[in-house]
């Protein structure tokens, strides 16, 4: 009955199943309805099952949420959030960061690069922090799809925003002079840059 009502509403708006635009609208409405349905089912089960309620509190509410993991999971089962066509991003940089010298700095590295070096993302993920940090200037932190957290320091001229998704190889910004700071944390341990990139 709900589905019949949905199609009647779409027909009144001039959308039909054969219409490409209408097909996207129908898929989008299906995704929204599915998300609402899953939310309602979760709330009902939490109300009647103390074990499930405890699980939700311990695993979902008390732990840090991986935006990259949730985004990949949603994309895998539901597709894009919005029904608009998105162009595939083509990497415009090498997959590896090119640097002239490497020096250990705090928990990561201080890399000597060319002046105004264009910094690529070395993994795909979600931006979870953009801001200033003492000693390393403007910072972009990306939570990667591979359970990594990578922080790029001393960045300028970026147009990225918090919670933007970036693909591997995407332009993050320019290095402010000739020094790039990078820290790679994966599965709770700081990683060697060359090991991570190989």
Mean pLDDT, rounded, of the chain: 79
pLDDT tens for each residue of 91-138: 444 556 888 999 999 889 999 998 888 899 998 889 999 999 988 899
Cβ–Cβ < 8 Å for 182, 124:
no
Element of type H or E holding 103: strand 101-105
Residue 109 maps to which CATH number?
Answer: 2.70.70.10
Residue given tokens 């162009």 in the structure block:
87
Task: Output DSSP code: residue 112.
Answer: E
DSSP code of 164?
Answer: -
What is the pTM for the complete model shown? Answer: 0.60
Same domain, 45 and 117: no
Are 139 and 190 within one domain? Answer: yes
Binning pLDDT at 50, 70 and 90, where does residue 11 land?
low
Phi first, then psi, for residue 124 (nearest 5°) are -80, 145
One domain for residues 108 and 165:
yes
Q: Is residue 171 part of a domain?
A: yes
Regarding whether 53 and 119 lie in a shared domain, the answer is no
Residues 107 and 163 in one domain: yes
Residue 88 in domain: no
Statement to judge: residues 130 and 176 lie in one domain = yes
* Highest mean pLDDT (candidates 14-23, 29-38, 90-99, 102-111): 102-111
Residue 135 maps to a domain? yes
The per-residue pLDDT for 147 is: 85
Q: Are residues 52 and 106 in the same domain?
A: no
155 domain residue, yes or no:
yes
Rounded average pLDDT over 142-156: 91
- Structural domains of the chain, count: 2
With respect to residue 183, please indicate whether it lies within any of the assigned structural domains.
yes
Asked if 161 contacts 131 with a C-beta cutoff of 8 angstroms, the reply is no
Residues 191 and 105 both lie in one domain: yes
Q: Determine phi and psi for 143, rounding to 5 degrees.
A: -90, 110
Residue 71 lies in a domain: no
> Domain span at residue 147?
101-197
């Amino acid at each position: 009955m709900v589905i019949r009502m949905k199609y009647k509403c779409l027909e009144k708006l001039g959308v039909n199943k054969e219409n490409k635009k209408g097909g996207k609208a129908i898929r989008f409405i299906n995704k929204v309805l599915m998300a609402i349905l899953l939310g309602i089912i979760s709330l009902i089960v939490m109300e009647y099952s103390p074990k499930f309620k405890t699980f939700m509190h311990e695993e979902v509410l008390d732990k840090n949420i991986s935006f990259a993991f949730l985004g990949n999971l949603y994309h895998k089962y539901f597709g894009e959030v919005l029904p608009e066509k998105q162009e595939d991003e083509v990497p415009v940089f090498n997959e590896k960061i090119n640097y002239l010298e490497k020096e250990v700095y705090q928990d990561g590295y201080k890399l000597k690069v060319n002046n105004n070096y264009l910094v690529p993302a070395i993994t795909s993920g979600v931006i979870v922090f953009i801001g200033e940090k003492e000693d390393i200037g403007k910072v972009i932190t990306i939570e990667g799809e591979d359970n990594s957290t990578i922080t790029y320091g001393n960045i300028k001229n970026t147009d990225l925003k918090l919670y933007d998704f970036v693909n591997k190889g995407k332009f993050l910004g320019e290095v402010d002079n000739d020094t790039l700071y990078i820290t790679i944390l994966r599965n709770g341990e700081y990683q060697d840059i060359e090991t991570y990139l190989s």
